[in-house]
Structure 1
Amino acid sequence: MTDRPSVLFVCVHNAGRSQMAAAYTRHLSEGAVEVRSAGSAPADSINPAVHAAMLEEGIDLSAERPKVLTTDAVQASDVVITMGCGDACPIFPGKRYEDWQLDDPAGQGIAAVRPIREDIKQRVRRLLESL
């Protein structure tokens, strides 16, 4: 067990929103937060427009892969942030849950992904202030 707070970001495909949120949390917390991300129906790879948009920020997602949401990941996290995964995320007492309403970058070009990225960055900053 760790003294660091832990956050799990969940979206449907774990290829866009949750990956950006996890990357920003790692980056902005400088390792002070344990970060997980997962999807209720993971894609095969990270959304290319999301990858490109994060590279603009100096954050490389090339080593990341979409992962399936597991009960263990939820149980191991202090905070669970959902992003459009509906009822697929298991609920456990004592966890902090937030649902972030964000546009889905799936099928979008980089110009459409940039505002989503900026929204996520601001939400992550607020989240880090609250941990």
Structure 2
Amino acid sequence: MTTATKPSVLFVCVHNAGRSQMAAGFLRHLAGDRVEVRSAGSAPADQINPVAVRAMEELGIDITDQQPTILTPGDSAASSVVITMGCGDVCPYFPGQTHLDWELDDPAGQNIEAVRRIRDDIGSRVRALVAEILP
């Protein structure tokens, strides 16, 4: 259950297989149960990008138990912060939410070195987000 004292963050990208899953993994790792974390996609893939999984495992963050899911209006309505990553304007907007758009390369089809750079960029952004939303 979302409360005013517990922020809820929704990460959205097209396939919910790379960027949004890495961001959600970072946030779960850094904030634990102090933040409700969701991720979704406008056109979800069948599975998480294995190179993204490997890149996160290098940092000790396991996202293998996650599955790409379809974005629903309920996901967005239940979130105090919505962060989009290259999915355009498919996210419904609800008053009182913070909306951010993170311009990030898509890790789909990229080699591990490229995905590491994307992962590290996401990690920096998530650390800044945690500092902003948690006391």
TM-score surpassing 0.5?
yes
* Cα distance in structure 1, aligned partners of 2:128 and 2:55: 21
1:103 aligned to which of 102, 105, 109: 105
The answer for the alignment partner of 2:114 in structure 1 is 112
Q: TM-score, normalised by structure 2?
A: 0.94
Name the SS for the 1:36 alignment partner.
Answer: strand
- Taking only the aligned residue pairs, the percentage that are identical comes to 64
**CA-to-partner distance for each residue in 1:61-110, whole Å, 9 max, x for gaps?**
11110000000000000000000000111111111000000000011111
1:6 aligned to which of 5, 8, 12: 8
Q: CA RMSD in A?
A: 0.8
The answer for the alignment partner of 2:130 in structure 1 is 128
Give the Å deviation of 1:30.
Answer: 2.2
* Cα distance in structure 1, aligned partners of 2:94 and 2:7: 17
> Match for 2:99: what amino acid?
Y
> Match for 1:117: what amino acid?
R
Give the Å deviation of 1:24.
Answer: 0.3
> Match for 1:32: what amino acid?
R
Runs of 4+ displaced beyond 2 Å: none
> Match for 2:110: what amino acid?
Q
* Cα distance in structure 1, aligned partners of 2:66 and 2:32: 18
Q: TM-score, normalised by structure 1?
A: 0.97
1:42 aligned to which of 21, 41, 44: 44
The answer for the alignment partner of 1:28 in structure 2 is 30
2:91 aligned to which of 72, 89, 92: 89
> Match for 1:72: what amino acid?
G
> Match for 1:57: what amino acid?
L
Give the Å deviation of 1:116.
Answer: 0.4
The answer for the alignment partner of 2:53 in structure 1 is 51
The aligned length equals: 131
Unmatched segments (≥5 aa) in structure 2: none
